[in-house]
Amino acid sequence: MDDHPLSDCELMHEVQAGNTRALEVVFGRYKNAIFNFSLRILRNRSDAEDITSEVFMTLCTAKYIEKENVKFSTWLFTIARHKCISKIRTQRKFFSMWVKNRETGEEEHLEIPDSDHLANVKIQQKETMAQIQQAINELPLEQKEAIILREFDEMNYEEIAHVLNCTVAKVKILIFRGREALRAKLPSELEEGLS
């Protein structure tokens, strides 16, 4: 974290007043977090770099209003999420389908990764991390997003609910189902971090 004395909200007031130095400070604080989040969702370095640039370009024009129950970082991740979803839809890396849940009998909407696209993506991580990342990538999109925000970006349930635009109860269900799916996919020695 930088040693700049102004808070995120104070900096955003400066950004909106046209202070480019304030924008540089905000960029320095959050560029890595936004890039890493985008990279985990999109699995493509170039796309993640594009999204990161777009998010910070948006800050120059977006009207940020400080809210008591929403942190600036949550607002920023929400912008990044929307841009990632737009990129996914544009590139058609996922296809949608409805399936019947065996436990409840209800129809559920799933976003399935396009295996042709995933086959062309190079995973440049250690073998263990690659296995975990692959299992995460096979989750339905909302479960994937919730797991990434919780495990990698260390957001609480309320923050995740705001980013995903849903209830805290739904976030808890998404994370529970995501973790259960990961436990089923991963060897037992890789399950320890999924608690």
Residue range 96-149, pLDDT digits in tens:
555 566 667 666 655 555 555 444 443 333 466 777 778 888 899 999 999 999
Q: Residue 97 has what pLDDT?
A: 52
In this structure, what CATH number is given to the domain that contains residue 13? 1.10.1740.10
Give the phi and the psi of residue 113 in degrees, each rounded to 5: -60, 140
Q: Residue 109 has what pLDDT?
A: 54
- Enumerate residue ranges in the chain where pLDDT < 70: 1-3, 68, 91-103, 105-128, 187-195
pTM over 0.75: no
Specify whether the CB–CB gap between 164 and 171 falls below 8 A.
yes
Domain termination residue (choose one: 42, 62, 88): 88
Task: Please tell me the total count of domains within the chain.
Answer: 2
Looking at the domain assignment, is residue 65 inside a domain?
yes
Looking at the domain assignment, is residue 183 inside a domain?
yes
In this structure, what CATH number is given to the domain that contains residue 110? 1.10.10.10
Three-state SS at 109 = strand
Domain termination residue (choose one: 29, 54, 88): 88
Domain of residue 101: give its range. Answer: 93-190
Indicate if 17 and 39 belong to the same structural domain.
yes
Number of Cβ within 10 Å of residue 35's Cβ equals 18
Helix 20-42 and helix 8-16, axial crossing angle in degrees, nearest 10: 110
Q: Residue 158 has what pLDDT?
A: 93
Specify whether the CB–CB gap between 15 and 23 falls below 8 A.
yes
Domain termination residue (choose one: 61, 88, 115): 88
Indicate if 72 and 110 belong to the same structural domain.
no
Q: Residue 188 has what pLDDT?
A: 60
Indicate if 107 and 177 belong to the same structural domain.
yes
Indicate if 178 and 155 belong to the same structural domain.
yes
Q: Residue 15 has what pLDDT?
A: 85
Q: Residue 30 has what pLDDT?
A: 95
Indicate if 105 and 181 belong to the same structural domain.
yes
Indicate if 115 and 155 belong to the same structural domain.
yes
